[in-house]
Amino acid sequence: MLAKGVTWLDDWFALEEVAPGVIAIGEPRYYQINWNYLILGTRRALLFDTGPGVRDIARAVRKLTTLPVTALPSHMHFDHTGGLSGFGDVALPDIPVLRACDQAGWLMPTDDLYVGWWEGMSWTPVKIGHWLAIGSSIDLGGRVLELLHTPGHSPDSISLHDRAGGIFFAADFVYPGKLYAQIRNSDLKSYLETAEAVLPLLDEGTTILSAHGRPDSDRLHRAPRLAPQDVADLGHSLRKLKASGERPESWPVNQRMSLLLSEDAFASWQEGG
């Protein structure tokens, strides 16, 4: 089930050290095939996304590092925040849509942001540790991550850029497969703006790591990787879609990705933007 270089931590979590100090933690037995990223510095570690919470990812992380760990969700969707309440230190991007979910220091996302009703999941309140400004740098010691707002898939989506390491942690902005722009709160105007803003930031040779994978032709799993060309292709495809005036339910991007669409996602384009 796992590609070469990927190992099981137990019977649920798969591990791949995708770069020195960057451990991808996959959940290939979960149908959405989530990949979370434990990013290690010399002083502390950051876990980007906590999976759907089918299993205890905090326990898994404790087996992997003794550094203090901050958990940071890429957005509120249930398959990224399921394990969040297991962490003592939770950071959130400081954007209005999430500030509005702060109830006396506890994170309580709206149904539209969490969408847990899809799978009958209910939210476990999470104590908010600290807010991180968009554009700020997260210094883990020997590794600096830039925090970027990358809306489109959802209004609260963020990505992380390890510029020196040549890694872009895209989360659900881009991943191999069908990009979800058909869900509540998805927005194509934002999606295109994000693609156009991110592309110039990426050096050639940057590895883009995504939050959802899919098995290869031998049905083997590894951490999902894309390249700057995929972001360029997404931008190109969205511009073409806009120019076409069509409103299809799906739209091709390239051989690795396509977009799933809904009427809601087109709304901002009709407003003249």
Binding site for Zn ion (CB under 5 A): 77, 172
| Residue 77 or 161 having the CB closest to Zn ion | 77
CB of 78 to Zn ion, least distance (A): 9
Q: Is the separation of the CB atoms in 190 and 170 below 8 Å?
A: no
CB of 127 to Zn ion, least distance (A): 23
CB of 262 to Zn ion, least distance (A): 14
| Residue 114 or 266 having the CB closest to Zn ion | 114
| Residue 21 or 28 having the CB closest to Zn ion | 28
Q: Are strands 34-40 and 45-48 parallel, antiparallel or unpaired?
A: antiparallel
CB of 153 to Zn ion, least distance (A): 6
| Residue 86 or 151 having the CB closest to Zn ion | 151
CB of 160 to Zn ion, least distance (A): 16
SS3 labels along the chain: CECCCCEECCCCCEEEEEECCEEEEEECCCCCCEEEEEEECCCCEEEECCCCCCCCHHHHHHCCCCCCEEEECCCCCHHHHCCHHHCCCEEEECCHHHHCCEECCEECCCHHHHCHHHHCCCCCCEECCEEECCCCEEECCCCEEEEEECCCCCCCCEEEEECCCCEEEEECCCCCEEEEECCCCCCHHHHHHHHHHHHHHCCCCCEEEECECCCCCCCCECCCEECHHHHHHHHHHHHHHHHHCCCCCEEECCCCEEEEECHHHHHHHHCCC
| Residue 46 or 76 having the CB closest to Zn ion | 76
Shortest CA distance to 191 belongs to which of 89, 266, 243, 257?
266
Report the residue number whose CB is nearest to Zn ion.
77
| Residue 45 or 76 having the CB closest to Zn ion | 76
| Residue 154 or 207 having the CB closest to Zn ion | 154
CB of 267 to Zn ion, least distance (A): 19
CB of 21 to Zn ion, least distance (A): 26
